[in-house]
């Protein structure tokens, strides 16, 4: 066949194939997240699941029970393409039965001991005989567990796992699994890139319900609905009533409401003369406020507080410590079972010249001085949600204080909603990092889940990336980060790849080539982003928008908001010296890390310039000079970003066109931005390197 005809034939075949595939994939907005419940493509699988889903039996006559039943119905009907009826009891083989031992159907199974061990949020999903017929049972000691189990069962079907002989027992490893919304009362969202708030100023009910479903499906059990830069008005009666109405909507989904509190509330809204935490009038005010809140929200979770940080008021305004401040709120909440999450994101310049040392310096000496119901809430790294940081040295250094890990789902420094950065690999790096607090094998995850230091109350918070955008997160692929946060909060041992697989199958379809392509795109994205923005441990090379490259940024307001403060590039070299000869930051880590990271040769390449200032001709492990390695990394990042786009382009016709095009446009922008990062940074560092002293 002549070449032109051959090309035409190939193109025609491709077009027909694309159209055929396109016909099967309808336009989607992304609103349905991973709960699309699209009909299973494989007819045989559908038929097999139908055998195991002849009826839905939920003997749990509560609002949560109602949600379980309706979600199972919605999910099964969608996935299996047939109406699955609800029934009071199983009458034929293949019912799905979900409940607690309060129902005789579940009690008769004799699983009480197992369920007690798994707790109120844990569950089993097992094939069993119920009322004389074979059934699939979702059972839990508590209603929350039944809800989580129901979503797990739907996930099994969504991801093609067989139900026959299913035998699953799960419980969460971390008790408090929270989202933190940085939503302001006027509806704007600090560091939000996906539209306005659905809480404020007026609640958007349809959103709230779907938000609750999505969170329940991944085990999120708490939410802070206002920004940590808290408006004191949040604690006034009218806004507490609004919070109570939100709490009422979320309660059946087993999500508790928490609030960010402003430390100045006693003065600003209470009319007191002081906020001094040791003042009896202030303590009385917080107690009365807690009582008022619990009258409105009986299951209120507690307060998160940003104090003496970035201009926020706090106990140090009165010469008191962070512990004094946290404890006065903790005492007010304790009679009701509430907790305080006192943020350790503090970096007062007079504490230490090196910003990353300041939180540790202020908090670690207070270990043992906080009330039992106080968490120190600590970001994953000691600076501020950079694309790569070593873990925060407070993890493993405060054995007497529960530490709530704070991760950022919204991508403030990671391309916001324009760049794809799948965050699970970064979070895994953090959770798996060995603190050596109790010798080798003391990973951050075991500090956070309490097992390393015998802590009973445990928590993890993720700064939400949601808003009113149709697809919730601005970038369709950023939904994966919300999903991954929930899954890791439930079980920090899960793998980033396994989580990606689940999410892709539920969100995009389960054709093996589609899954493999999206999986590889997700898994490569974080390292690509690091390569073209902040390679070799460089950090904070941005300006105030925290988006565009700005290595020249020298902020006149605060040195530690600059880029030059961190990279220190000049003719002599580049990087921040945190060895003993420098800021001494390495000393905040346990041995042997402090030894390893004191020497460039035993510091991993990807943290090299975090810990060391090195000459441009420093010889890297690769044999290249530092300068060559840096340039190579920027170039590699650009190629990798382009690779993400090209791989995505192969999905044309294999997924719905609307989301395909939306993501393609974002990946093109990412690819262009990557070049801008490379060009700007390489030119800037080249000039610094060659400038005469």
Q: How far is the CB of 416 from ligand GCV (least distance, A)?
A: 12
Binding mask 569-608 for ligand GCV (x = CB under 6 A): ----------------------------------------
Rg (CA), the chain: 26
Q: Does 228 bind ligand GCV (CB under 6 A)?
A: yes
Q: How far is the CB of 182 from ligand GCV (least distance, A)?
A: 5
Q: How far is the CB of 540 from ligand GCV (least distance, A)?
A: 11
Nearer to ligand GCV, 314 or 443 (CB): 314
Residue 86 DSSP code: B
In 3D space, the residue among 373, 422, 366 whose CA is nearest the CA of residue 398 turns out to be 366
| 587 a catalytic residue | no
* Tokens 């749990």, located at residue: 60
Per the DSSP assignment, residues forming a β-bridge with 57 are 97
Nearer to ligand GCV, 384 or 524 (CB): 384
Q: Does 389 bind ligand GCV (CB under 6 A)?
A: no
Binding residue for ligand GCV (CB under 6 A) from 306, 357, 613, 689? 306
ω into residue 592 within 30 of 0, thus cis? yes
Q: How far is the CB of 265 from ligand GCV (least distance, A)?
A: 18
Q: How far is the CB of 352 from ligand GCV (least distance, A)?
A: 18
Residues 6+ apart with CB under 8 A from 451: none
For residues 174 and 222, the answer to whether their CB atoms sit within 8 Å is no
Nearer to ligand GCV, 189 or 663 (CB): 189
The helix (run of H) or strand (run of E) holding residue 178 is strand 176-180
In 3D space, the residue among 604, 655, 532 whose CA is nearest the CA of residue 21 turns out to be 655
How far apart CA 184 and CA 489 sit, in angstroms, is: 25
The structure tokens listed for 184 are 């302001």
Angle, CA 48 vertex, CA 42 and CA 50 arms, to 5°:
100
**Both ends of the chain: CA-CA distance in Å?**
67
The structure tokens listed for 237 are 């009666």
| 640 a catalytic residue | no
Nearer to ligand GCV, 158 or 308 (CB): 308
Binding mask 400-419 for ligand GCV (x = CB under 6 A): ------------x-------
How far apart CA 403 and CA 426 sit, in angstroms, is: 19
Q: Does 560 bind ligand GCV (CB under 6 A)?
A: no
Given 241, 310, 513, 595, which residue is catalytic?
A: 310
How far apart CA 197 and CA 203 sit, in angstroms, is: 8
Q: Does 229 bind ligand GCV (CB under 6 A)?
A: yes
Given 331, 362, 384, 449, which residue is catalytic?
A: 384
Residues from 138 through 197 that contact ligand GCV (CB under 6 A)? 182, 190-191
* Tokens 């007010």, located at residue: 332
Nearer to ligand GCV, 235 or 383 (CB): 383
CA separation (Å) from 683 to 528, 549, 550, 570, 597? 20, 12, 12, 13, 29
How far apart CA 583 and CA 606 sit, in angstroms, is: 19
Q: How far is the CB of 180 from ligand GCV (least distance, A)?
A: 9
Q: Does 28 bind ligand GCV (CB under 6 A)?
A: no
Given 28, 324, 412, 673, which residue is catalytic?
A: 412
β-pairing verdict for 133-139 and 374-379: unpaired
Cβ neighbourhood burial of 554 (10 Å; 0-12, 13-18, 19+): exposed
Q: How far is the CB of 320 from ligand GCV (least distance, A)?
A: 20
Number of residues that bind ligand GCV (CB under 6 A): 10
Query: In sequence order, what DSSP letters do the residues of 584-644 get, joined into one string?
Result: -GGGGSPTTHHHHTTSGGGS-GGGHHHH--B-TTPBPTTSSBHHHHHHHHHHHHHHHHHHH
- Angle between helix 205-218 and 237-250 (nearest 10): 50
Q: How far is the CB of 343 from ligand GCV (least distance, A)?
A: 7
For residues 308 and 317, the answer to whether their CB atoms sit within 8 Å is yes
Nearer to ligand GCV, 228 or 341 (CB): 228
Q: How far is the CB of 558 from ligand GCV (least distance, A)?
A: 11
Nearer to ligand GCV, 546 or 652 (CB): 546
| DSSP helix/strand/coil, 223 | strand
Q: Does 345 bind ligand GCV (CB under 6 A)?
A: yes
Q: Could you tell me how many residues make up the chain?
A: 693
Q: How far is the CB of 245 from ligand GCV (least distance, A)?
A: 25
Q: Does 384 bind ligand GCV (CB under 6 A)?
A: yes
Q: Does 566 bind ligand GCV (CB under 6 A)?
A: no
How far apart CA 258 and CA 55 sit, in angstroms, is: 37
Residues 6+ apart with CB under 8 A from 16: none
- Report, as residue numbers or ranges, the catalytic residues: 310, 384, 412
* Interface residue list for ligand GCV (CB under 6 A): 182, 190-191, 228-229, 306, 310, 345, 384, 412
């Amino acid at each position: 066949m002549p070449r032109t005809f051959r090309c035409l034939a190939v193109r025609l075949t491709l077009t027909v194939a694309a159209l055929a595939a396109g016909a099967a994939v309808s336009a989607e907005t992304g609103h349905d997240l991973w709960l699309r419940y699209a009909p299973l493509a494989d007819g045989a699988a559908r038929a097999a699941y139908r055998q195991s889903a002849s009826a839905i039996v939920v003997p749990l006559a509560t609002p949560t029970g109602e949600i379980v039943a309706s979600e199972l119905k919605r999910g099964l009907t969608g996935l299996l393409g047939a109406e699955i009826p609800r029934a009071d009891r199983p009458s034929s083989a293949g019912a799905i039965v979900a409940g607690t031992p309060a129902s005789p159907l579940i009690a008769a199974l004799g699983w009480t001991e197992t369920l007690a061990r798994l707790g109120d949020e844990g569950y089993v999903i097992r094939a069993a005989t119920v009322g004389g017929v074979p059934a699939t049972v979702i059972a839990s000691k508590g209603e929350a567990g039944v809800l989580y189990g129901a979503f797990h069962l739907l996930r099994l079907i969504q991801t093609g796992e067989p139900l026959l002989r299913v035998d699953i027992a799960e419980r969460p490893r971390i008790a408090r699994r929270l989202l933190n919304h940085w939503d302001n009362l006027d509806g704007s969202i600090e560091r939000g890139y996906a539209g306005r708030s659905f809480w404020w100023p007026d609640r958007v009910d349809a959103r709230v319900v779907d938000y609750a479903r999505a969170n329940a499906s991944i085990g999120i059990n708490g939410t802070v609905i206002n920004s940590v830069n808290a408006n004191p008005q949040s604690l006034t009666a009218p806004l507490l009533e609004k919070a109570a109405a939100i709490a009422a909507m979320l309660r059946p989904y087993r999500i508790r409401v928490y609030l960010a509190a402003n430390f100045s509330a006693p003065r600003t809204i209470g009319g007191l003369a002081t906020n001094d935490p040791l003042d009896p009038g202030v303590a009385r005010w917080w107690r009365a406020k807690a009582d008022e809140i619990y009258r409105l929200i009986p299951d209120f979770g507690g307060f998160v507080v940003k104090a003496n940080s970035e201009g926020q008021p706090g106990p140090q305004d009165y010469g008191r410590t962070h512990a004094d401040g946290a404890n006065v709120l903790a005492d007010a909440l304790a009679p009701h079972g509430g907790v305080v999450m006192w943020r350790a994101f503090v970096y007062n310049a007079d504490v230490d010249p090196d910003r990353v040392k300041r939180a540790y310096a202020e908090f670690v000496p207070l270990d043992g001085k906080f009330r039992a119901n106080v968490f120190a809430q600590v970001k994953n790294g000691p600076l501020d949600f950079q694309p790569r940081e070593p873990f925060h040295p407070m993890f493993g250094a405060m054995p007497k204080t529960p530490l709530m890990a704070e991760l950022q789902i919204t991508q403030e420094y990671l391309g916001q909603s324009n760049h794809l950065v799948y965050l699970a690999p970064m979070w895994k790096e953090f959770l798996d990092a060995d603190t050596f607090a109790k010798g080798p094998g003391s990973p951050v995850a075991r500090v956070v889940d309490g097992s390393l230091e015998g802590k009973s109350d445990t928590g993890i918070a993720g700064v939400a990336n949601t808003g009113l955008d149709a697809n919730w997160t601005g970038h369709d692929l950023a939904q994966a980060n919300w999903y991954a946060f929930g899954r890791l909060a439930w079980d920090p041992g899960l793998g980033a790849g396994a989580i990606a697989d689940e999410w892709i199958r539920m969100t995009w379809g389960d054709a093996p080539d589609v899954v493999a392509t999206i999986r590889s795109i997700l898994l490569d994205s974080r390292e690509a982003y690091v390569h073209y923005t902040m390679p070799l441990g460089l950090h904070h090379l941005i300006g105030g928008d925290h988006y565009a490259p700005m290595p020249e940024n020298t902020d006149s307001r605060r040195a530690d908001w600059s880029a030059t403060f961190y990279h220190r590039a000049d003719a002599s070299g580049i990087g921040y010296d945190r060895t003993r000869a420098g800021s001494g930051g390495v000393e905040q880590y346990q041995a042997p890390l402090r030894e390893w990271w004191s020497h460039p040769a035993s510091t991993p390449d990807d943290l090299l310039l975090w810990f060391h200032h090195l000459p441009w001709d420093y010889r890297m492990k690769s044999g290249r000079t530092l300068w060559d390695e840096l340039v190579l990394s920027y170039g590699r990042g650009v190629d990798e970003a382009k690779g993400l786009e090209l791989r995505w382009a192969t999905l044309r016709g294999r997924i719905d066109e609307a989301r395909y095009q939306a993501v393609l446009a974002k990946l093109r922008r990412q690819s262009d931005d990557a070049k801008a990062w490379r060009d700007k940074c390489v030119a800037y560092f080249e000039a610094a390197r060659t400038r005469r002293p």
